[in-house]
Structure formats: structure tokens, C-alpha cells
Amino acid sequence: MIGMSYVLHYAPDNASLVVRLVLEELRQPYKTALVDRTASAQHSPAYRRLNPVGRIPVLETPTGPIFETAAICLWLADRHRDGAHLSPDPDAPDRGDFLSWLFFLSNTVHAEMRTLFYPALVAGNDAEKQSAARLRITTSLKKHFDLLNIAIASRRTEPTCCDIYCAVLLRWPALYPVDADRSWFDLSLWPNLQALAQRIEARDSARAAALAEGLGATPFSDPHPATPPEGSAL
């Protein structure tokens, strides 16, 4: 698998950022293909041939495209163990714990966060129902961050896919949704998560990703709106 080249279909400051960070950590060569969200390119027939769900990201590999952020990260981590150990070995005692938290981040935290940003998915176009939905989701997300803040305290120093995924998820509530109250999210309430964000953004992988997507010097601990050299984060 050494020397394999991948194509990451991405949009700035989207879930593809998690995959970019993993690729950088693993020191794998890859190319990027911008998915123009302003033109809804993720819903085009060509893109849906790669990802029938019509969401970002997709990673093209020599054995075919992979979609879903956690699936891509796990696939990469398990195949490129010479660059970094971003996942425990399949037979390692802590493999089950790692998988539990990875899919909690993906299936629960990330999924609820997406609903927070797009409340019409669950509340339709009724503004009052959208406001109520956002309140329910922020209450739930705060509980999730409480759990993660405890769990992260016992994690090892070297990052895993979970740490990378979590750091990115700490960025978005500080910035989005742009048209709603975001005061509920204060990273200092979760000091272990704040320390994680600072550790991840200090790594070479994060610096490279931040430069490529215009995320600034503190993309996870003190995020600012992205100013990408191409494409749009919104």
C-alpha cells in the first residue's frame, strides 16, 4: 500500500476536513477534487456515482470509492500503519473501545450537529419548530461533550482517528449556524476537550490542512470563519 495515491473529494471546512487530517497524519499522497457546494455539485449524477448519498466526502481509492467519514478514516488507518497508528490493531484489547467512540462521534455527535445546522431536516420550514429543535439538540450536544470531556482524560498522547474527528467537531459549533445563537457552546467548559483541540491544531497535519482550507492558526480551540483559496465553506 506504500505510495498509493488517493483523490479526496472535498469542500472547505466540511466533514472532508477529518479525512484530510488523517491523510496528512498518515503521510499518504493524495489529490483533492473540489465539490462546489454553491452549485450543489454533491447532488450531481457524476458525484452520486461515487457517493449515492450525495454528501461530502468521498475518497477514491484503487479499489473503488469510499464514502462516510468514519468509514474512510478507519479504512485508511487500518491500511497504513507504518506512517502512524491512528487505530488500535484489530485484535488489540482497546479496539472495541476505540470503535465505540469513533461511531459515537460519527453516528451521534456529528449526526445531531448536522441537524443543528439544518433544522429543516427535522422541523420543516416552521421557524418556531426549528427553534425548538435547535434547543433540544444543543441540550443533547452539551451532554455528549460532557461525556467526551471525561473520556478524553484517559486517552493516550498520540492521536487516533477519534481525537482528530473530535477536534473537528469542536470547531463547527463555535461558527455555525451563522443565523442562530451560538452562546451555548463555550469550549472552556470542557477543559480536556479544549486541551485536545490545542494539541491537534499544533500538529503538522493540522497546519497543512489549515493552510489548504484557510482555517487560521487556531482552527479548533479558537476557530474563525474559513477563508479558503477555492470553494466555499457555506
Tens of pLDDT, residue by residue over 174-232, are 999 888 889 999 999 999 999 999 999 999 999 999 999 999 999 999 999 999 999 88
Helix, strand and coil in the chain, % to nearest 5: 55, 10, 40
* 220: enclosing H helix or E strand: none
Read off the pLDDT of residues 47-64 as tens digits, 9 standing for 90 and up.
999 999 999 999 999 999
Q: What is the pLDDT of residue 154?
A: 65
Task: Dig out the grid coordinates for 101 from the structure.
Answer: 467512540
Task: Dig out the grid coordinates for 198 from the structure.
Answer: 490545542
Domains, the chain, with CATH or none: 95-203 (1.20.1050.10)
Residue in the structure block whose three cell numbers are 451521534 = 108
Residue 73's CB is within 10 A of a number of other CB atoms, namely: 29
Task: Dig out the grid coordinates for 13 from the structure.
Answer: 471546512
Q: Are 221 and 194 in contact (CB under 8 A)?
A: yes
Read off the pLDDT of residues 159-183 as tens digits, 9 standing for 90 and up.
999 999 999 999 999 999 888 889 9
Output the furthest CA–CA distance in the chain (Å, rounded).
53
Q: What is the pLDDT of residue 97?
A: 94
Secondary structure (3-state) at 98: helix
Q: Are 181 and 145 in contact (CB under 8 A)?
A: no
Beta-bridge partners for 33: 9
